[in-house]
Structure 1
Amino acid sequence: MSVTPITEASNLISEGIDVEQPTGIVSILQKCDAEIFEGYEDYKSLLHDDTVQTLENIAGHIQDILERTFNELQDFRRQPELFRYCLAGGDKALFTSQEAPEDDPNAGIEALKRASEGKTKVVYIGITCGLSAPYVAGQLDFCLDHPDRFIPVLLGFNPEKLARNNPIDKWDKTFMQVVNRLKERMDSGTTAYILNPVVGPEPITGSSRMKGGTATKVLLETVCLKALFDATHSTENMSVRSMIECYRAVCDAVYSKRDALAQVVNMAGEGLRSGGCIYYLGVDSLAIMGLIDASECPPTYGSSLDDVRGFVGAGYASLKNMEGDISPYGRHFRISLDNFDDILLTEKDIAIVINAGTEESVLTHIRGKQCKKFLLTFEHFQAKSDIFDHVFRIDMPLNVLNELIGQETTTTANQMFREIAVKWCLNAITTGAHILKGKVYKNIMIDVKVSNNKLYHRAAGILQRLGKLDHDTALEYLLRSIYDTDHVTDHIRDLPIAQHILTATPRSKIVPVALVAAVTGSSVEEARKRLDEQPVIRTAIVQALASASK
Structure 2
Amino acid sequence: MFPFPLLPSCEKHDTRPVLLVGEARIPRHFPDTCCPLPSRAAATAVSLSRPGREEPSEPAAARRRLPFFLVRSRHRHRALASSSGSSSSGIRSRSSPAALHHLVLCARSSRATGGYDVMHLPRFLRLVDLCVHGTPDYALRSNYDPRVYQPSRSVNRKRPVSRVIPPAHRLPSPDHEPWLPVSEKSNPLTRDVDRASANQIVRLLKACDAQMFQAEAGTSYQRLFSDAVVKTMTDVAKRVELILKDPEDSMVVLSGCGTSGRLAFLIATGFNRALKELSQSPLYSYIIAGGDRALLSSQEAPEDDPALGMLSLQKLCEGKRRVLFIGISCGLSAPFVAGQLDFCLQHLDVYTPVLVGFNPAFQARDEPMPGCSLTFRSVVDRMQELATSQKAFLLNPTVGPEAISGSSRMKGGSATKILLETVLSAAHAAAYTHTPITYKGILQHMRTYEKTVDITYAHSGEMTALVEAAGESLRSGRQVCYLGWGSLAVLGLIDASECNPTFGADYDDVRGFISGGYRELSNTEGPLTSLGPEFCISHEDFVHLVLPSLTDQDTILLIYTHTEDVAEVEKLARKVREKSSNLHAVYHQVDGDTAAARQDHISGLCSSVLKITWPSPASGSSLHMQWELSTKLVLNAVSTGAHVLKGKIYQNHMIDVQVTNSKLYRRATRLLQRLSGHPEAQCEDALLKAVYRVDELTPAIASSDLSVHTHTASTRSKVVPLALVCLLTGCSLSEAEAHLGRQPIVRDAVKAWLS
TM-score by length of 2: 0.69
Give the one of 348, 370, 382 matched to 2:580: 370
Give the one of 599, 606, 611 matched to 1:388: 606
- Checking the alignment, whether the CA contact within 8 Å between 2:462 and 2:608 is kept in structure 1 is no
Give the one of 130, 137, 141 matched to 2:342: 141
- What's the secondary structure of 2:355's corresponding residue? strand
* Residue 233 (structure 1) shift: 2.5
Report what 1:338 is aligned to: 540
Cα 1:216–1:121 change in 2 (3 A) is: same
1:248-287 equivalence runs, <5 A: 248-287=450-489
Backbone CA RMSD of aligned residues: 2.1
1:279-315 per-residue CA deviation (whole Å, 9 max, x = no partner) reads 0002211011000000000000001001000000111
* Residue 395 (structure 1) shift: 2.5
Name the aligned partner's letter for residue 361 of structure 2: E
- What's the secondary structure of 1:124's corresponding residue? strand
Give the one of 444, 450, 472 matched to 1:242: 444
Cα 1:235–1:458 change in 2 (3 A) is: closer
Report what 1:305 is aligned to: 507
- Checking the alignment, whether the CA contact within 8 Å between 1:438 and 1:539 is kept in structure 2 is no
Give the one of 2, 18, 22 matched to 2:198: 22
Work out the CA distance in 2 between the residues paired with 1:299 and 1:412: 32
Matched, 1:34 2:210: yes
Report what 2:362 is aligned to: 161
Moved more, 79-88 or 360-369: 360-369
Matched, 1:204 2:404: yes
- Checking the alignment, whether the CA contact within 8 Å between 2:573 and 2:602 is kept in structure 1 is no
Work out the CA distance in 1 between the residues paired with 2:668 and 2:249: 52
- The percentage of counterpart residues that share the same residue type is 41
Work out the CA distance in 2 between the residues paired with 1:541 and 1:255: 36
* Residue 61 (structure 1) shift: 0.4
Work out the CA distance in 2 between the residues paired with 1:541 and 1:222: 47
Work out the CA distance in 2 between the residues paired with 1:147 and 1:450: 36
Matched, 1:52 2:230: yes
- Greater percentage in helix: 1
- What's the secondary structure of 1:309's corresponding residue? strand
- What's the secondary structure of 1:395's corresponding residue? strand
Matched, 1:469 2:645: no
Report what 1:230 is aligned to: 430
Report what 1:480 is aligned to: 689
- Checking the alignment, whether the CA contact within 8 Å between 2:587 and 2:611 is kept in structure 1 is yes
Name the aligned partner's letter for residue 516 of structure 1: V
- Checking the alignment, whether the CA contact within 8 Å between 2:728 and 2:750 is kept in structure 1 is no
Equivalent pairs counted in the alignment come to 535
Give the one of 267, 274, 288 matched to 1:87: 288
Work out the CA distance in 2 between the residues paired with 1:245 and 1:87: 29
- Checking the alignment, whether the CA contact within 8 Å between 2:249 and 2:322 is kept in structure 1 is no
Report what 1:354 is aligned to: 559
Moved more, 528-537 or 34-43: 34-43
Give the one of 407, 414, 424 matched to 1:214: 414
Report what 1:98 is aligned to: 299
Name the aligned partner's letter for residue 387 of structure 1: L
* Residue 542 (structure 1) shift: 4.8
Work out the CA distance in 2 between the residues paired with 1:75 and 1:444: 43
Report what 2:311 is aligned to: 110
* Residue 377 (structure 1) shift: 0.5
Give the one of 720, 723, 726 matched to 1:514: 723
Cα 1:265–1:75 change in 2 (3 A) is: closer
Cα 1:76–1:534 change in 2 (3 A) is: closer
- Checking the alignment, whether the CA contact within 8 Å between 1:512 and 1:541 is kept in structure 2 is no
Cα 1:541–1:32 change in 2 (3 A) is: farther
- Checking the alignment, whether the CA contact within 8 Å between 1:530 and 1:540 is kept in structure 2 is yes
Work out the CA distance in 2 between the residues paired with 1:385 and 1:223: 37
Report what 2:749 is aligned to: 540
Work out the CA distance in 1 between the residues paired with 2:203 and 2:750: 25
- Checking the alignment, whether the CA contact within 8 Å between 1:22 and 1:262 is kept in structure 2 is yes
Matched, 1:448 2:665: no
* Residue 77 (structure 1) shift: 4.3
- What's the secondary structure of 2:286's corresponding residue? coil
Give the one of 490, 505, 508 matched to 2:714: 505
Work out the CA distance in 2 between the residues paired with 1:75 and 1:268: 38
Work out the CA distance in 1 between the residues paired with 2:460 and 2:719: 34
* Residue 360 (structure 1) shift: 4.2
Cα 1:109–1:486 change in 2 (3 A) is: same
Name the aligned partner's letter for residue 426 of structure 2: K
1:468-527 per-residue CA deviation (whole Å, 9 max, x = no partner) reads 111111101001101111111232121111100000011000001001111111111111
Report what 1:432 is aligned to: 641
Report what 1:13 is aligned to: 189
- What's the secondary structure of 1:311's corresponding residue? strand
Work out the CA distance in 2 between the residues paired with 1:348 and 1:448: 26
Q: Which has the higher contact order (CA 8 A, sep 6+)?
A: 1
* Residue 453 (structure 1) shift: 1.1
1:77-129 per-residue CA deviation (whole Å, 9 max, x = no partner) reads 43211100010011111111211111111110111112212321111010000
Work out the CA distance in 1 between the residues paired with 2:377 and 2:249: 40
- Checking the alignment, whether the CA contact within 8 Å between 2:474 and 2:646 is kept in structure 1 is yes
Work out the CA distance in 2 between the residues paired with 1:92 and 1:139: 20
Work out the CA distance in 2 between the residues paired with 1:12 and 1:40: 19
* Residue 361 (structure 1) shift: 5.6
Long gaps (5+) in structure 2:
1-124, 126-177, 251-274, 590-595
Cα 1:369–1:70 change in 2 (3 A) is: farther
1:157-191 per-residue CA deviation (whole Å, 9 max, x = no partner) reads 0001101112211122111111122223335x351
- Structure number with greater Rg is 2
Name the aligned partner's letter for residue 132 of structure 1: S
- What's the secondary structure of 1:485's corresponding residue? coil
Cα 1:454–1:143 change in 2 (3 A) is: same
Work out the CA distance in 2 between the residues paired with 1:283 and 1:273: 28
Work out the CA distance in 2 between the residues paired with 1:384 and 1:86: 38
Work out the CA distance in 2 between the residues paired with 1:386 and 1:247: 31
Name the aligned partner's letter for residue 377 of structure 1: Y
Long gaps (5+) in structure 1:
none
1:192-229 per-residue CA deviation (whole Å, 9 max, x = no partner) reads 01100000000000000000000001111111111100
1:303-362 per-residue CA deviation (whole Å, 9 max, x = no partner) reads 100100000011100101111111111110010000001112122111100026642463
1:385-438 per-residue CA deviation (whole Å, 9 max, x = no partner) reads 552111111223x27xx5xxxx1x3x2211111001000000000110000000
Name the aligned partner's letter for residue 553 of structure 2: K
Work out the CA distance in 1 between the residues paired with 2:338 and 2:442: 28
TM-score by length of 1: 0.93
